Amino acid sequence: MIKSRICEILGIKYPIFQGGMAWVADASLAAAVSNAGGLGLISSINAGTEAVRNEIRKCKELTDKPFGVNIMLQAPNAGEIAQMVIDEGVKILTTGAGSPAQYMEAWQAAGIKVIPVVASVALALKMQSIGATAVIAEGAESGGHVGEIHTMALLPQVVDALDIPVIGAGGICDGRGAAAAFILGADAIQVGTRFLAAEECTVHQNYKDKILKASDISTIVTGKTLGHPVRSLKTPFSKNFAKMEADPAVTPEEILSFGTGALRKAVKEGDVNGSYMAGEVAGMVKKIEPAKDIVEDLILGAEKILRNPENILA
């Protein structure tokens, strides 16, 4: 068994989080991951605050294991969601795309464990100083909104700077990647892209098909000119987005309006003009399988490698 402080702190069996993927991470996926012994997460990016509340209630019916909610701090309803999770008795939160400082006092008073995603050492230190239970160091290999530094460099630097547990994320897709993260000092791993291919993941079949067809060079980062870089699959949509960004005649407002709603369109409708957010490891995802098999392949696969260094040493 991989030893991890995070399993004791959160009451989970395996040190693996499922990424709180916007529009994707619902009760079906979160409960499946939690039932498998990991930490399932529900995304706060859905069809409004009440839809997220419903997913939380559904998840409680589907599992008696711990699960959490991911709060995307740049969302217009972030404040409303911040209160709703307290009202619903959620006990674990991860946050992304900003600093959760303004909500920390209320969440801590409610006994909530807060685990922010960080993309730099400076933000990781700030999160530790305001009472975060742990941080998720997410490298730029990830899908969706990304920082600048990649996991191989970010994770050990965050581990060295902090006393609280660090979860490694970005570019982890199998036992090898998981073992590498533990070697770099992670207390746990977070995985997003591979769970897109979980049986219990409710994304449109077109989304799953695109992930299964992806190769190593299938993703692109757009949105840098807007100040929020996003990694997604190369599609006519993302290539047009990149072209608009490179064209001085196109305004940021026009680009923003082109992108609005694109993730929902991909996840819910499988629309060719949607945004198929995915990490660089999409090319490693080769089959649809139960979330339990994914959890066990990652953790037991890592254990096998870490237990037998003779596999690597001459």
Contacts to ligand TUI by CB under 6 A: 22, 45, 72, 96-99, 117-119, 123, 138, 144-147, 228, 230, 263, 277
Smallest gap from Cβ 262 to ligand TUI, in A, equals 7
| Residue (156 or 170) nearer to ligand TUI, CB | 170
Instruction: Report the nearest approach of ligand TUI to the CB of residue 311 (Å).
Output: 33
Report the residue number whose CB is nearest to ligand TUI: 144
CA distance 70 to 305: 31
Closest distance to ligand TUI from the beta carbon of 146 (Å): 6
Instruction: Tell me, rounded to whole angstroms, the distance of Cα 294 from its chain centroid.
Output: 15
- Smallest gap from Cβ 24 to ligand TUI, in A, equals 9
Q: Give least dist CB 13 to ligand TUI, A.
A: 25
Query: Nearest Cα to 33, choosing from 279, 281, 296?
Result: 296
Compute, in degrees rounded to 10, the torsion defined by CA atoms 302, 35, 131, 3.
-30
Dist CA 30 CA 118 (whole Å)? 22
Torsion of CA 305, 308, 312, 314, to 10 degrees: 180
Q: Which is nearer to ligand TUI, 34 or 142 (CB)?
A: 142
Q: In the complex with ligand TUI, which residue's Cβ is closer, 53 or 228?
A: 228
> Which structure tokens are listed for 117?
């995603």
Cβ closest to ligand TUI, residue 105 vs residue 293? 105
Nearest to 193 by CA among 93, 280, 270, 70: 280
Find out whether 40 and 199 touch, Cβ atoms under 8 Å. no
* Complex with ligand TUI: residue 55 or 179, whichever CB lies closer: 55
